[in-house]
Structure 1
């Protein structure tokens, strides 16, 4: 239980007593009552809005209710002082001993510090990456892959039951194009000199696929009509591309629990099943859409389509699920896929590129219709990453044909740097990834700065041995002063941050927090450069050394736990 949840439970108990005594009406809605850090740290350690939220329903003045609460709150263990601010906000200052106990709690909990049960084992399906299987992973996929994987880990750490899913778009025209591209490489493997036609995939990553096809089928399809080999080559090539994608994702430490094939949904009749379900509920009809904006009557020919009543669920217009020729639209397949996911989940989260923003409303409408609003869908849009080297745009990869591969980036700067860097901005904000800056050993590089803090903590233990310092069996935490305890106050924010980030589906908050904690640790460490008495290791004072080492270890543990949540290793030496 977090420090804040502990005091929230204490507050809830006090409010229960007030109701029992008739000071408050029974059954008040307390959902907006919060116990959290005050915006201004100088106001104290905890801020409580209970009097402001409940006073109106209790038919009393907020300040009058606050005064009654202060009487009870001031009696709680760990509370040093309680003050009323403004019209009825309550600020609490905790005792130093409360923070010392939290330090001990961090060390005792170890790798489980910050772990929460707030998810209550709710099933959450997180779908991310889902790149078309037409080539290796590139940096356009990287950010969404990291955001999705970090979110899945965060939700797991916060007590949710998480499924990591990849949707394989293997039923559209792009995989037909892929099969034709592989066919060209197949002919090449059989000795022909080829030129990749315009419109096909030119990257040489298909060369091994062409060799595989040549080994498997010989020259059987060399002069055969497309109808004989297209489906076969498509299946083989998609499978090879998915193996390549899995290998690329593994470089980032990303492994999905489930891969769902769009083609398999069609084959199993699941798309039609979802449409039939909506039709029974009166949500499917035959109709004609309005002409797109900007189109003139000469440019637009109205066609009767099978439409889903998306407007009934908040979309801007109804959406086609089948074309005039009876084939399914991409939305029709996507609708069915989300219905399948929702059947085994309590919540759905999709991580999409920002170029899919126009699709969000229709998919949310479909999920709402198919689940009777019982399974919420949250779509996180991830903006582009601009690749730079020394401030200049990076040239494209020859291997890929027209993009920079994820494998090349991880090979150059390392998995940890890539993962951490992708979370240094909010997902919906564009970001720059400069190859030179992300490996720079400076405060301006958050990856280095956080890992360096952890490495400094570990260096203390090595120096204990090299300087032959013998510590007392138990650290006396009463030797820590206000400035040192302030660092524990920052470390103690971690469990609360985990819960808030999990609820908001925002894993970048972990990275932002770790940078702040690391900065506070470095600041305290650097005071020892000017004043030897402020150093963490004092060979002539083992007792104070033991207390400060406990402080450093607690901070190191929180950094390690936070990095673990976002899938980054904690460096022990730098």
Structure 2
């Protein structure tokens, strides 16, 4: 599989190795930070390397002298047309014209494999995302987290990792008791009783059918009975019903989980005790008291001895309680046990996707995983910032079905799963996102979903015209086309295609699926610019009626664009458009 940037970097590294072997550079220089990447200004060439800049200090040499010597060696390679030293020692590279035709052919030859990477080397990664409390339908905030987590999992799989998508069911806390009481009120309502939703119970209409289903199951057995007779059974019934609703919400968005892990399964099974004992065996659990929280004076704070985890040994701001003074587990304890379970399942890396309100929880969770794994399993926590919805120029806040918030289903029903997913990835996860329903459906360059889909649909329209004319468009025919001497507008497209494998690895390494959406927009922009140039220069048109031999090389380029767009949209979980309506 071709990765042009990796190939040229390998050339640079090989030449630096030869320079060390010949004595032109000191032996043993670390080349890990040598990069080959697109220049900031396209006028400077096709690629640029920082090799001389990063090696100058350890080599005790002038960077321009290193760059000049390296540039002279690089131009001996047939792929390098020019190697020019710029500024303090950067080398700008211009590649031979036939390289770009080779990129198009590599895309067509590899098809679904072009851009895939083996960088993950099969390492096992657990991506835990959504993990919404099972107390109601998913809201728009969960939607962004679900899309981000699912796209990140697909990106990592594309980059050679073995990925598990996991949902942590928060069914062990007090919120599920509140859910049970809310369902009980709907159960009474189903029996004709007047009810009032008080004490923080959930008033959403989504619990009406759950109350009716409970009535169908137990009849009037729970009428006029105290909680001790029905709470546990109703809690289990309601949690199952909510998880089924959540599964349906995820399915509407195109998200399929591999594992649903119940918090409740940690209690009474020895799993929490085992995790804490593991930390205790490492000398990381002790009995002590904590300093007053910020803003509290010592005289206003009653220090109580608690069981604490030495999370400060692993970079946290303070040690954290795992057991309260009364002997009950602190809320952090089951989270430690859950991550201990992940570590013992043999994952090489863990990723948690949390809401923005969990920012204060990151350091302690990282400390726990570092301690539990002996610092062998990295944990990356991605925080998902808030989403603001706009409709008709106004912020859109209410859903009658949910009672207090806009649901995932509201959004998907309004604009569709494909648009929802793409828009949710048009900002980095830690940046707030405005989701405007009108703009999401607008057919213009300002709408990235439309712009990328339109590029794919345009390619498909060209292919249909050519097929209708009886032209052969199989891969053998397209690979046989002469792609030398591409026009500058065509070269811009080929250069962008060449960036795809590099971009995949950068996005996977940084856990940043939004980079895929950004790249697809840039590729679509280069393609549309070429299409529009065809309005002025007929020789650049992809399909010229009656001119098969002149059109086929152009169609080969267009087909390559559709292959990469389709692959990128696949990572994002978006279906490529065959035509625009």
Q: TM-score range by the shorter chain?
A: over 0.9
2:65 paired residue number: 64
Q: How does 1:238-257 map to 2 (within 5 A)?
A: 238-257=239-258
Residues 480 and 548 of structure 1 are in contact (CA less than 8 Å); yes or no, is this contact kept in structure 2?
no
Question: Who is 1:564 aligned against?
Answer: 570
Q: Report the equivalent of 1:13.
A: 14
| Equivalent residue number for residue 453 of structure 2 | 451
- Work out the CA distance in 2 between the residues paired with 1:64 and 1:182: 76
Counterpart pick for 2:379 among 377, 380, 398:
377
Distance in 1 (CA, whole Å) between partners of 2:453 and 2:137 is: 30
CA contact (8 A) 2:451 2:524 kept: yes
Q: Distance in 1 between matches of 2:544 and 2:302?
A: 83
1:217-270 deviations in Å (ceiling 9; x for gaps): 222222222112211111121111111101100111101111111110123221
Whole-angstrom CA distance in 2 between matches of 1:67 and 1:383: 47
Partner of residue 550, structure 1: 556
Greater shift in the superposed pair: 550-559 or 294-303: 294-303
Give a deviation string over 1:63-93, Cα, whole Å, max 9, x none: 2322332232111131111111223222211
1:279 partnered with 2:273: no
Q: 1:385–1:431: 8 Å Cα contact kept in structure 2?
A: yes
Q: Give the CA deviation at 1:540.
A: 4.6
In structure 2, the residue matched to 1:477 is 483
1:505 maps onto 2:511 in alignment: yes
Distance 1:280 1:428 in 2: 37
- Equivalent pairs counted in the alignment come to 574
Provide the residue aligned with 1:350 in structure 2. Answer: 352
Q: Distance in 2 between matches of 1:77 and 1:224?
A: 85
- Taking the aligned partners of 1:299 and 1:544, their CA distance within structure 2 comes to 84
CA distance in 1, matches of 2:513, 2:397: 30
**Residue correspondence of structure 1 range 15-34 to structure 2 within 5 A:** 15-34=16-35
Match in the other structure for 2:542: 536
In 1, distance between residues paired with 2:448 and 2:87? 38
**Aligned residue runs from structure 1 range 322-333, under 5 A:** 322-333=323-334
CA contact (8 A) 2:97 2:485 kept: no
Structure 1 residue 296 displacement after superposition: 4.1
2:267 and 2:28 mapped to 1: Cα distance? Answer: 51
Contact 1:4 1:35 in 2 (8 A): yes
SS at 2:403's partner residue? Answer: coil
Normalising by the residue count of structure 2, what TM-score does the alignment of the two structures yield?
0.95
Matched, 1:393 2:424: no
Counterpart in the other structure of 2:189: 188
User: What SS is found at the alignment partner of 1:193?
Assistant: coil
Query: Residue 381 of structure 1 aligns to a residue in which SS?
Result: strand
1:520-569 CA distance string (max 9 Å, x none): 11111112234434322122532221111111111111111110111101
Aligned to 1:113: 114
- For the residues of structure 2 that align with 1:469 and 1:285, how far apart are their CA atoms? 77
Decide whether the 8 Å contact of 1:476 with 1:543 is kept in 2: no
Find the aligned partners of 1:177 and 1:102 in 2 and give their Cα distance.
Answer: 59
- Give the secondary structure class of the aligned counterpart of 2:484: helix
Q: How far does residue 351 in structure 1 lie from its aligned partner after superposition?
A: 0.8
Aligned to 1:432, the other structure's residue is in SS state strand
Task: Tell me the distance in 1 between the aligned counterparts of 2:121 and 2:578.
Answer: 34
Paired with 1:227 and 1:502, the residues of 2 have a C-alpha distance of 50
Separation of aligned partners in 2, 1:393 and 1:87 = 51
Query: 1:211, CA displacement in angstroms?
Result: 2.0
Deviation of 1:332 after TM superposition, in Å, equals 1.3
Q: Which residue of 2 aligns with 1:410?
A: 412
- Give SS of 1:11's match: helix
Q: What SS does structure 2 have at the residue aligned with 1:320?
A: strand
* Residues 67, 89 of structure 2: 8 Å contact kept: yes
| Shift in Å, 1:295 | 2.6
Q: How does 1:116-265 map to 2 (within 5 A)?
A: 116-265=117-266
C-alpha deviation, 1:325, in angstroms? 1.2
Quote the Cα distance in structure 2 between the aligned partners of 1:468 and 1:479: 27
Counterparts of 2:366 and 2:194 in 1: how far apart (Å)?
Answer: 49
Cα shift at 1:341: 1.3
Distance across 2 between alignment mates of 1:100 and 1:363: 49
Distance 2:387 2:276 in 1: 37
- Contact 1:480 1:547 (8 Å CA) reproduced: no
Calculate the aligned-residue CA RMSD, in Å. Answer: 1.7
Structure 1 contact 470–542 (Cα < 8 Å) conserved:
no
Deviation at 1:34, TM superposition (A): 1.1
Distance in structure 2 (CA, Å) of the matches to 1:111 and 1:470: 21
Contact preservation (8 Å) 1:476, 1:546: no
- CA deviation string 1:92-127 (max 9, x = no partner): 110110110011001111122110001111111111
Deviations 1:297-325 (A, max 9, x none): 56432222111111121111111111111
1:60 to partner: Cα distance: 2.9
Q: How big is the shift at 1:329?
A: 1.5
Deviations 1:474-496 (A, max 9, x none): 42213532321221101111110
Aligned equivalents of 1:141, 1:333: Cα separation in 2: 22
Give the Cα–Cα distance (whole angstroms) in 2 for the partners of residues 415 and 326 of structure 1: 47
Shift of 1:510: 0.4
Q: What is the distance in 2 between the residues matched to 1:529 and 1:466?
A: 22
Rounded Cα–Cα distance in structure 1 between residues aligned with 2:464 and 2:504: 31
Equivalent residue for 1:442?
Answer: 444
Indicate the residue corresponding to 2:98 in structure 1. 97
Q: What SS is found at the alignment partner of 1:77?
A: coil
In 2: Cα distance, 1:68 partner to 1:342 partner = 49
Note if 1:518 corresponds to 2:493.
Answer: no
Shift of 1:372: 1.7
TM-score norm. by structure 1 comes to 0.96
